[in-house]
Amino acid sequence: MYGVMRSYSGEGAKKLAALLEERKADIETVIRGVPGLISWGLMRTPDGCTTFTLCKDKAGADNSVTIARDWIKQNASDINASAPTIIEGPVSMRVTA
């Protein structure tokens, strides 16, 4: 498994978080197209939001970064949110309910 987190902060980040929540159905459709997707989530933070993607492999995680970037360009360019800080790596443990 491979995970990637995209943390959005600074100018426009809170507006971006609100837009992502508002467009939930659209986001779900786009994210479900990521090859090898295991899970995806959005977490509000004090200065914006963080999204996290878990995929079967790095290729899927890389694809999710491209899809996220493209979606924001097409649907949120007027918000002028700063580029996210991206943290990624192999996932060695996962616990579910």
Q: Domain limits of the chain?
A: 2-90
**pLDDT at position 80 over 90:** no
Distance CA 36, CA 91 (A): 14
**pLDDT at position 65 over 90:** yes
List pLDDT tens digits, range 9-46.
Answer: 998 999 999 999 999 999 999 999 999 999 999 999 99
Q: Does domain 2-90 have CATH number 3.30.70.100?
A: yes
Over residues 80-93, mean pLDDT: 94
> Exposed (0-12), middle (13-18) or buried (19+): which is 8, by Cβ within 10 Å?
buried
